Amino acid sequence: MQVSVEGKLVEVSDGASCADALKEGLSGKRFKSALACKVGERLLDLTAPVPTTTGETPELTPVTADSPEGLALLRHSAAHVMAAAVKKLFPAAKVTIGPAIENGFYYDFDVEKPFTPEDFEAIEAEMRRIVDAAVPFERMDISKADAMKLFSDMGETYKVELVEGLDDGTITLYRNGDFVDLCRGPHIPNTGCVKAFKLLSVAGAYWRGDEKNRMLSRIYATAFADAKDLKDYLNRIEEAKRRDHRKLGKELELFTFHEDVAPGMVFWLPKGMLVRTILEDFLRREHLKRHYEIVQGPQVLRRELWEKSGHYANYRENMYFTEIEGDMYGIKPMNCVSHMLIYNAHLRSYRELPQRYFELGVVHRHEKSGVLHGLLRVRQFTQDDAHIICAPEQLEDEIIGVIALVRDLMALFGFQYRVVISTRPEKAIGSDEAWELATNALIKAVERAGLAYTINAGDGAFYGPKIDVKVTDAIGREWQLSTIQCDFTLPERFELEYVGQDGERHRPVMVHRAILGSLERFIGVLTEHYAGAFPAWLAPVQARILTVTDAQNAFAEEACEKLKQQGIRAEVDTRNEKLGFKVREAQLAKIPYILVVGDKEVESGSVNVRLRTGENLGVKTLEEIAALIQEDCAEPFKRGGMSYRFS
C-alpha cells in the first residue's frame, strides 16, 4: 500500500500502523518526536492502522509536542497519568473528567476530603513512577453495555453516568497500567513522553457545572515537552502572581470587593475611581473628535423589547429580570436596544447617516459565582459601547474607521494584538443572506485595513459575525478586548429606516463595537500589564513631594499647589519619618515622580527628582519638572496621533 508522509511517497504493508508508515517516511529523530498521527483532519494513535480510501493515497503528518495539537495531546495524556496516580494513592476517589485546557490540564475527583497543595508531593512522586515506567496507552473498543458494566463494577458512578449519555454503539476506553478511563483519544504512545509536569493548584467544581450537583475536588496542573519550557512557564506564573490585579488593587488602594453583600460588583476607592475617570474622560473626548454622539439609555426595559431583539430567546440565562407593577422588565445586558430606539426618535434622511452613538453604559450580566474573578469577571460593568447605524454602502468605511480607533488605542497602551473573525454560531437569528453580507463586509474591511486575520468558525454573536481583537500583555498572556460586530438583523426587527436619495425608505445596517470592552476588565488587565506602575498620564498620583524635615513643609505645600495649578496630580508627604522610608513607600505606591525637598531645594526654589525605578534626575525647578511630567504624559499619545490635552 502506498502512503504519503509529509509529501514523501512510501510503501507499507496492508494493515500497517500509522507508526509503521511514519517510520518509513521520516528521519529517526523526527519519527521519535511523533506523539500521534494526523490523516487529513483526523488525529490517530500511532498504533492505529492507516485508514484507506479507495483510489486515494492517505496523507500522513506526524503530530509533535511543539505543535498546539501535540501539546494538547500531551497534556490530556498527563491528566490520565495524574488520575492514575490519585487512584493509586487514594483508592476511594472517584474519577470524573480530565481535559486539556489552554495552559495545562485538570482532573475532577469525588473525594471525602478535598485535596490540598500538601497532597501534591505524593501525587507528583507517583506520577514520576508511572512516567519512568513508560506505561503504554492502550485503546479499547467495547460495547456500551460492557462499558457500563466495567465502570459499575469499578464503582466509578460518574463514568457510568457519562456512558449512559452516549449513543448506542462502540465505546472507546484507554488503559495505562491498571487505570482505565472513558476517552475517545487519541493518546501519546506511552507515559514516558510526559517528561515535564507540575501540579499547580486545587479548586472546587460542581459536577457538570451545576450548582445542584456534588462539589468535586479539582487539581490543576500543566505539562510540557521539556523541563526548560516548564520552568519558563512556572516563572511566568510567579510573575503573574506578582502582577495580580486583586493584590495590586489592595496595595495601591484602587478598588475592593465585598462578596458577602455584592458578589461580582466592584467598590471603587478614590485612587481607582480617579484612574477610571481619567479613562472615561479620555474616551468621551476621543469619540467626540471622531464624530460620535454621546447618548444614554435606561437600565431596565420591558421584556417585550428583549423578546423582539432576540435576547430573551438567545441570552435570557445571562440576564436579570424584575417585576414592576405587574410587568416584567429586563435589566439591560447590552446597550444596542436603547440605541435603536434613540435612532427611531424620528425618520432619518440619508444625509444624516451614519449615526454614531457612544455610551459608557452600565450593564448587568448573570455570571455564576464560581467564575467571578476580581475585575476580570463581574456581574456589573461599564462598556465603552457604541453603535453605528449607516447605509449598507457606508458599512466597510465605518468598520475601517473603528479599526483605526482600535489601532490608535492599542498603540497608546503598548499592546500587540491579532485579529480573529468569528462567524455564524449554531444559535443565531437572521437570514443566511444577511449573515453572508455581514461576514463579507468584516473580511473586506480587515483586508482593506491591511490586517492579517484568522477565522473562528461558529463563534459570532447570535445577531451577527464579529471581529475580535486579542492583545498580548507584558508577560505574554493573551486577552480579548475590542469587538466589532456587523448586524443586518436587529435593524430589520426594529424597523429602522432612512429616506434615500431616491425618496424611498431603506433599511440601514448596524455596527456594534466596544474598544476597551468592559472598563472593569480593562483596568484589571491594564493593572497587570503595567504591574501597577501606570504611565504618568494615567497614574492617580503623578508626583509626591517628600520633605526631609518639618522645616520644608511650607515650601512643599506651596510647591504642590503650583504643580496642581499646572494640571499635575501631586501630593505631599510631610510625615516625621526617615527620608529613605518615605522614598521606599512612594516607590511601592508606583508613583512616577518622587520629589525630595531639603534646605538646599528650599533656598533654590527647586526639587530633587527621583523616578519610581530608582533613577535620580537631579535638581529641577518646578517649571522644569512640570514640563517634564507633561511631556512624559504626552509621549504615548503621539504614537496614535492623539493629543494628551484632548484638544
Gap between the Cα atoms of 123 and 117, Å rounded: 10
Closest to 579 in 3D by CA, of 613, 603, 544:
544
Gap between the Cα atoms of 79 and 299, Å rounded: 45
Q: Reading across the β-sheet that carries 327-331, which strands appear in turn?
A: 300-302, 327-331, 320-324
DSSP-derived 3-state class of residue 540: coil
Gap between the Cα atoms of 546 and 535, Å rounded: 21
Q: Name the β-bridge partners of 476.
A: none
Gap between the Cα atoms of 416 and 119, Å rounded: 40
Provide the residue type at 392 as one letter: P
Query: Among residues 379, 512, 521, 582, which one is catalytic?
Result: 512
Query: Among residues 45, 108, 384, 385, which one is catalytic?
Result: 385
| Rounded to 5°, angle at Cα 520 from 449 and 516 | 10
Query: Among residues 364, 365, 590, 610, which one is catalytic?
Result: 365
Residue reference for cell 488593587 = 249
User: Under 8 Å CB-to-CB from 19, ≥6 apart: which residues?
Assistant: 34, 37, 46, 47, 189
Gap between the Cα atoms of 313 and 595, Å rounded: 59
Q: Is 339 known to be catalytic?
A: no
Query: Among residues 383, 394, 485, 542, which one is catalytic?
Result: 383
Q: Are the C-beta atoms of 496 and 344 separated by less than 8 Å?
A: yes
Query: Among residues 287, 377, 466, 582, which one is catalytic?
Result: 466
Length of the chain: 647
Gap between the Cα atoms of 184 and 162, Å rounded: 12
Q: Is 383 known to be catalytic?
A: yes
Closest to 175 in 3D by CA, of 128, 136, 144:
136
Supply the DSSP string of 194-237, one letter for each residue: --EEEEEEEEEEEGGG-TTSPEEEEEEEEEESSHHHHHHHHHHH
Q: What is the helix (H) or strand (E) element at residue 120, kind and residue range?
A: helix 120-132
User: Under 8 Å CB-to-CB from 557, ≥6 apart: which residues?
Assistant: 572, 574
Q: Are the C-beta atoms of 483 and 467 separated by less than 8 Å?
A: yes
Give the 3-state secondary structure percentages of the chain, helix then strand then coil, rounded to 5: 40, 30, 30
Q: Is 512 known to be catalytic?
A: yes
Q: Residue 267's CB: how many other CB atoms inside 10 A?
A: 12
Query: Among residues 18, 37, 183, 336, which one is catalytic?
Result: 336
Q: Is 365 known to be catalytic?
A: yes
Residue 229 corresponds to which cell in the numbers above? 519550557
Q: Name the β-bridge partners of 255.
A: 268
Gap between the Cα atoms of 192 and 136, Å rounded: 8
Q: Are the C-beta atoms of 140 and 116 separated by less than 8 Å?
A: no
Q: Are the C-beta atoms of 359 and 333 separated by less than 8 Å?
A: no
Residue 146 corresponds to which cell in the numbers above? 460492557
SS3 of 332-352: the string is CCCCHHHHHHHHCCCCEEHHH
Residue 620 corresponds to which cell in the numbers above? 529641577
Gap between the Cα atoms of 420 and 401, Å rounded: 17
Pairing of strands 478-487, 327-331: unpaired
Using only the alpha carbons of the chain, give its radius of gyration. 30
Query: Among residues 76, 364, 379, 387, which one is catalytic?
Result: 387
Active site residues: 336, 365, 383, 385, 387, 466, 512
